[in-house]
Chains A and B, each alone.
Chain A
Amino acid sequence: MEGYNFAYLDEQTKRMIRRAILKAVAVPGHQVPFGSREMPLPYGWGTGGIQVTASILGADDTLKVIDQGADDTTNAVSIRRFFARTAGVRTTTHTAEATVIQTRHRVPETPLRQDQIIVYQVPQPEPLSRLEPSRVQTRIMHALGEYGLMHVKLYEDFARYGQVSISYDYPVMVNGRHLMAPSPIPAFDNPKLDRMPALQLFGAGREKRIYAVPPFTSVRSLDFDDHPFHAIRAPHACGLCGATDSYLDEVVADDRGRRLFVCSDTDHCAMRREAGHVGADSLPEAAE
């Protein structure tokens, strides 16, 4: 820890970020601007998430970092090690043991509890960005609650493809008031955000915005009355643990076109295998 302030950021910066977080919690789904700092990792790698985590981390916290559901990818490993070094906090890969979870692109399969905080890394906090290029205009639309444009996009998807073509970062209505980008999590994870017991914080470093969903807040995915939202999942069982209800990654298994579907949440998959669940593709391994 020597040579660093606790959790890397100086105390004034943490104070400024905490103020933004408090404001964000007070107005669920509203994007609060903050003075994003240079961090020792590139934009797009989680500069927003890492700043939020740094300002809420305490000495007795246990941190878990996931990237696309996995605990062992470069991004997850380096951010976890960063905080182990600069804050000296305990780290874990088990969802149930963590008090703070920083995530990129997934929500853990294990349901979160009230004493946990989940921090999302957000590349683009503005859900209307692809439809209305002017931030002045989108801010007016948020202020007046004019979200007809988002439904025009959904209408176009149904008219052209017969379904909504958004598979990740699927826009949600928070607390019946603010349209929010849930960060690029798969639409499959959207229902988990609704009335989640844990506090959800979203940090966008490059775009300099923080927003939040307080515990037990309604988060509704946009849809039409006659075409209700439904989560899309690959129609397979996990090849390693046999789970049929988790979100799956498709992995190329060899050079003969064999493909393997495995849980994207590595912790969830490992726990199931420990509990004795076996998938179709893990049999040869077990025989070795």
Chain B
Amino acid sequence: MIAEVVAPGALLSARSLALHFGRIAALRDVDMDIWPGEVLAIVGESGSGKTTLLNVLSGTLSPDCGSVACRNAGGVVANVHSMPAPALRALHRSEWGFVQQDPRRNLRMNVSAGGNVGERLMAQGARHYGNIRAEAARWLETVEIDPSRIDDLPRTFSGGMLQRLQIARTLVTRPSLVFMDEPTGGLDVSVQARLLDLIRSLVARLHIAVVLVTHDIAVARLLADRIIVMQDGSVIETGLTDRVLDDAHHPYTQLLVSSVLTA
């Protein structure tokens, strides 16, 4: 039995995570903690293990060794990979959220925008149609989608709107921790800027902790409080965003920062 250890005050703590896909080491001895209300960016080039780390943290993948422990709203500490499946699913439905790069993977494309936002509420037992609809309309407004489109199907929405709809659907249950996998990937620059602005204000207002995977240093600089830099499955540098980006210690981080194009 793996000891369930969460750093004092932290929401989620990972200790000495390792995972191999055959001969490829996807994660090597990764330690990390997430505290309430902070945005933690995981950066690195493709294949560095960012998404794998996200999947292990959220319980989607099991590590070869190491442990991930979380603390729920009631203060109870549990091991993410040894808790019963119903408990993990309940956690994902209520206190956690997952924002995918492709919103189509998360949304139900044949269900109206309102139904998409209301699904998590109904899964939690909300049974009052009027309240569910009012909450859905309020959230559409929050993510800057015209509430009159509440009954429209997501396939009539643009890419940026789909991503905002996904965010509304995820945040409707007021999660304390949201995992985001390249939330701005595949969007054009002006839409990206608006979306980043939205995420930043929502996260600050609702006091949500975010684990953000991105290959885009600019996104990390704009959103993140802390940064983890990964290379070949290892964490090579970690610290406050400004410190890491302005005063990179590791040669790879220096390369990463200097290779950003400035317009």
B128's partner among A152, A159, A224 (CB-CB below 8 A) is A224
Q: Which residues of B contact A226 (CB under 8 A)?
A: 128-131
Residue of B nearest to A151 (CB): B122
Task: Say whether B7 faces chain A, with CB atoms less than 8 Å apart.
Answer: no
Interchain CB contact under 8 A, B127 and A224 = yes
Q: Which residues of A contact B115 (CB under 8 A)?
A: 152, 155-156, 159
Q: Which residues of B contact A4 (CB under 8 A)?
A: none
Stretch at the interface among B106-114, B228-236, B239-247: B106-114
A45→B118 CA distance, assembly (Å): 39
A178→B130 CA distance, assembly (Å): 26
Number of A-B contacts (CB under 8 A): 51
Task: Say whether B132 faces chain A, with CB atoms less than 8 Å apart.
Answer: yes
A245→B56 CA distance, assembly (Å): 59
| Chain B 92-144 residues near chain A, CB threshold 8 A | 108, 111-112, 114-115, 118-120, 122-124, 127-133
Task: Say whether A148 faces chain B, with CB atoms less than 8 Å apart.
Answer: yes
Q: Which residues of A contact B108 (CB under 8 A)?
A: 152
B118's partner among A146, A152, A225 (CB-CB below 8 A) is A152
Which interface residue of B85, B115, B132, B151 has the most chain A CB atoms within 10 A?
A: B115
A151→B108 CA distance, assembly (Å): 14
Interchain CB contact under 8 A, A156 and B111 = yes
A241→B150 CA distance, assembly (Å): 48
A163→B112 CA distance, assembly (Å): 16
Interchain CB contact under 8 A, B151 and A159 = yes
Task: Say whether A158 faces chain B, with CB atoms less than 8 Å apart.
Answer: yes
- Tally of contact residues, A, Cβ under 8 A: 15
| Chain A 133-166 residues near chain B, CB threshold 8 A | 144, 146, 148-149, 151-152, 155-156, 158-160
A149→B119 CA distance, assembly (Å): 7
CB distance from A265 to the nearest CB of B (A): 33
A67→B128 CA distance, assembly (Å): 37
CB distance from B33 to the nearest CB of A (A): 30
Interchain CB contact under 8 A, A158 and B129 = yes
Q: Which residues of A contact B122 (CB under 8 A)?
A: 148, 151-152, 155
Interchain CB contact under 8 A, B129 and A155 = yes
Question: Per-position contact with B for A208-243: 1 when CB-CB < 8 Å, else 0?
Answer: 000000000000000011110000000000000000
CB distance from B257 to the nearest CB of A (A): 44
Q: Which residues of B contact A144 (CB under 8 A)?
A: 85-86, 89
Q: How big is chain B's contact interface, by range?
A: 20 to 34
CB distance from B102 to the nearest CB of A (A): 20
Q: Which residues of B contact A146 (CB under 8 A)?
A: 89, 123
Interchain CB contact under 8 A, A152 and B111 = yes
A155→B120 CA distance, assembly (Å): 12
A156→B124 CA distance, assembly (Å): 17
B127's partner among A149, A152, A158, A225 (CB-CB below 8 A) is A225
Interchain CB contact under 8 A, A151 and B127 = yes
B112's partner among A151, A159, A227 (CB-CB below 8 A) is A159
A159's partner among B89, B119, B120, B133 (CB-CB below 8 A) is B133
A148→B169 CA distance, assembly (Å): 14
Residue of A nearest to B84 (CB): A144
A227→B127 CA distance, assembly (Å): 9
A158→B132 CA distance, assembly (Å): 12
Interchain CB contact under 8 A, A148 and B123 = yes
A155's partner among B85, B86, B89, B114 (CB-CB below 8 A) is B114
Interface set of B (CB-CB < 8 Å, partner A): 85-86, 89, 108, 111-112, 114-115, 118-120, 122-124, 127-133, 150-151
Given contacts A156-B111, A226-B129, 13 further A-B contacts (CB under 8 A): A148-B120, A149-B123, A151-B122, A152-B115, A152-B119, A152-B122, A155-B114, A155-B133, A156-B112, A159-B114, A159-B151, A225-B128, A225-B129
> Mind listing 22 A-B residue pairs with CB under 8 Å?
A144-B85, A146-B89, A148-B119, A148-B120, A148-B122, A148-B123, A152-B111, A152-B115, A152-B119, A152-B122, A155-B115, A155-B133, A156-B111, A158-B129, A159-B112, A159-B115, A159-B150, A160-B151, A224-B127, A225-B128, A226-B131, A227-B129
Interface set of A (CB-CB < 8 Å, partner B): 144, 146, 148-149, 151-152, 155-156, 158-160, 224-227
The 8 closest A-B pairs by CB, nearest first: A148-B123, A224-B129, A151-B122, A148-B122, A225-B128, A144-B86, A225-B127, A226-B130
